[in-house]
Structure 1
């Protein structure tokens, strides 16, 4: 019985591997496109930078997890993962337009702004995940 359960192990490894690859690549891209230096700020104890980055990460992972759960192939996962990526980056772009001087507020450790940004990113991610189920 245990051997039969291991039959799906290669698929598990492939989907998990692609999911982790997309997650790391998204974080690198997100950190690269934002004007503030999140990792340096986080290392210096800036909670706002950590909150903002965490919201973007969760907002990306929610639809990515949905894509993993519902995709029929690795190519399908890759395509829906790219959609999740694009939606989350677009969300950040809109937030930069809505929140005046987002960079300065994150650098000034304004946690209220960071929490708002994180909540919006997470909510959009949840909606994106739900939309992917159809």
Structure 2
């Protein structure tokens, strides 16, 4: 038991720094994503717009997946920061590409169009899965 506690004590600072850094990158990514959209997801969600909730939830998971794999594969905090930022940028680019395919995407989300939200989430999660796999090599 004492060895386990010593190992925990030794690894806890690294865990806290890596976990905190990943969460910070995720929060920055979510904030950037919300700035990129022309609609206010939180206001729409407060009004009960399920399409907006699905879209934002997909964005959060889509940003978190590559970050989680980056965290698992990183050998240092800088490695984590470097790959985490790259994953974040790629996910934001993926959103913009879907917005080009569906020029009225924000208006459709605002109207509660579940078809547009499901397509958007599918692209986000597909890109996140590919990015996550690429990060781990």
Band of TM-score, shorter chain: over 0.9
- Hey, what's the Cα distance between the residues in 1 that align with 2:46 and 2:26? 21
CA deviation profile, 1:84-112 (whole Å, cap 9, x unmatched): 11101100110000013001100000011
- Hey, what's the Cα distance between the residues in 2 that align with 1:132 and 1:32? 26
| Equivalences for residues 27-38 of structure 1 within 5 A | 27-38=30-41
- Hey, what's the Cα distance between the residues in 1 that align with 2:61 and 2:52? 14
| Equivalences for residues 1-134 of structure 1 within 5 A | 1=3, 2-134=5-137
Matched residue SS, 1:62: helix
CA deviation profile, 1:99-127 (whole Å, cap 9, x unmatched): 13001100000011101100110110000
After the TM superposition, list the runs of 4 or more consecutive aligned residues in structure 1 that deviate by more than 3 angstroms: none
Runs of 5+ unmatched residues, structure 1: none
- Hey, what's the Cα distance between the residues in 2 that align with 1:52 and 1:78? 25
What is the aligned residue count?
A: 134
TM-score (norm 1): 0.97
